Amino acid sequence: MPPPYRITLIPGDGIGPEVTQAAVRVLEATGLKFEWESFRAGAEAYEKYGEYIPKELIESIERTRVALKGPISTPIGGGFSSINVALRRKFELYANFRPIKNLPHIPTRYPDVDLVIVRENTESLYSGLEHEVVPGVVESLKIITEKASTRIARFAFEYARKNHRRKVHAIHKANIMKLSDGLFLRCSRNIAKDYPEITYGEHIVDNTCMQLVMNPYQYDVLVMENLYGDIISDLCAAFVGGLGLVPSANLGESCAIFEAVHGSAPDIAGKNIANPTAVLRCALLMLRHLGEDEAALKIRNGLEKTYRTREKLTRDVGGQAGTSEFADSVIEAMEVPATATQSD
């Protein structure tokens, strides 16, 4: 019997504990064995340990190199800085990979959307470098470096090549931010030269929003700096049924943290009504990262069957089932797959 996978689990807050619990149950139902090292972070951790990110959590990720994470709330306009951003920076998780793909039978404006957003994860306005210059005037620094821009462009093109994607678009605002976004674009153009089989395009970010809503099929892989990636991901989530459905992987050289695109959704927390699909798709990405393609396919099959039968869907996608019932349905529907594909 192979040894269990040791995974760091961060349940998060708001709907985090509900959706991550659903993912843990589904992962364990694949037949693989897991040992979970579970830690709180954020406001709850501060109350308990006097630290927003307990050092035991950092040590756990250093040890396991793989974490499954629920959302963590960040206070607006004051209070502590984002734990999510801090973890990405601490572990140099420079690439945020966000596949946007329809599941069957969710009514959406566009069927069969299949896009990938590659978001630079360590800099831009997320640098957190803000200060009050004089009362009534604040300055927020947008950091763009050649190193990080080249690294993320390389990631996007490598992903495109390995997955037979045809196009990569760099998204920017270099008409206004000539130096910072200009550097990002120059790095993307340089990397594009190494991939002649992939069509390279550039779109200004505001135009991209309009183009996406008019015709999402014109895009394939989109690479962009941190803030644009944050905003465009939520827009693209609407193509596939909303935030309850879109996963992400924060990837670096030494470790990976898998978390949904959505936040802690305080408006629906604690009611067992959140859709756990996004975090289940994170679990699926995590299994692929671990090389467990067959188990990943079981989860995909379980999800697709649950959506096809439509009996146990959560409210955000037109059903009445709770988070835990949805997970039960996925577990019931999981079958041993015939062939492995990389389709989501």
Nearer to ligand NAI, 181 or 259 (CB): 259
Nearer to ligand NAI, 296 or 321 (CB): 321
CB of 305 to ligand NAI, least distance (A): 20
CB of 189 to ligand NAI, least distance (A): 31
265 lies in the binding site for ligand NAI (CB under 6 A): yes
226 lies in the binding site for ligand NAI (CB under 6 A): no
Instruction: Specify the DSSP class assigned to residue 266.
Output: T
Say which residues have a Cβ less than 8 Å from residue 183's Cβ, sequence separation at least 6. Answer: 144, 145, 146, 149
123 lies in the binding site for ligand NAI (CB under 6 A): no
Beta strands in the chain (DSSP E): 5-10, 34-38, 66-69, 95-101, 114-120, 130-134, 137-140, 167-172, 199-204, 221-224, 247-251, 256-260
Site for ligand NAI in 278-297 (CB under 6 A): 278
Residue of 74, 64, 161, 160 whose CA lies nearest to 118: 160
How many residues does this entry show for the chain? 344
CB 343 within 8 A of CB 301: no
Residue nearest to ligand NAI (CB): 263
Amino acid at 80: F
Residue of 87, 46, 94 whose CA lies nearest to 70: 87
Nearer to ligand NAI, 100 or 168 (CB): 100
Q: What is the token pair recorded at 98?
A: 């966000």
Residue from the set 11, 229, 241, 244 that interacts with ligand NAI by CB under 6 A: 244
Residue from the set 120, 181, 292, 316 that interacts with ligand NAI by CB under 6 A: 316
Instruction: Specify the DSSP class assigned to residue 103.
Output: P
Task: Count interface residues toward ligand NAI (CB under 6 A).
Answer: 21
Nearer to ligand NAI, 220 or 316 (CB): 316
18 lies in the binding site for ligand NAI (CB under 6 A): no
Beta bridge partners of 131: 139
88 lies in the binding site for ligand NAI (CB under 6 A): no
| Calpha distance 121→225 (Å, rounded) | 7
Residue from the set 23, 160, 268, 287 that interacts with ligand NAI by CB under 6 A: 268
DSSP letters along 161-196, please? Answer: HHTT--EEEEEE-TTTSTTHHHHHHHHHHHHHTT-T
* 267 alpha carbon, distance to own chain's centre: 21
Other beta carbons less than 10 A from residue 101's beta carbon: 17
243 lies in the binding site for ligand NAI (CB under 6 A): yes
CB of 71 to ligand NAI, least distance (A): 3
313 lies in the binding site for ligand NAI (CB under 6 A): no
Q: What is the token pair recorded at 107?
A: 């009514």
CB of 192 to ligand NAI, least distance (A): 30
Binding range to ligand NAI, per CB under 6 A, among 1-9, 214-222, 270-278, 325-333: 270-278
21 lies in the binding site for ligand NAI (CB under 6 A): no
Name the residues that contact ligand NAI, by CB under 6 A. Answer: 15, 19, 71-74, 84, 243-244, 259, 262-268, 274-275, 278, 316
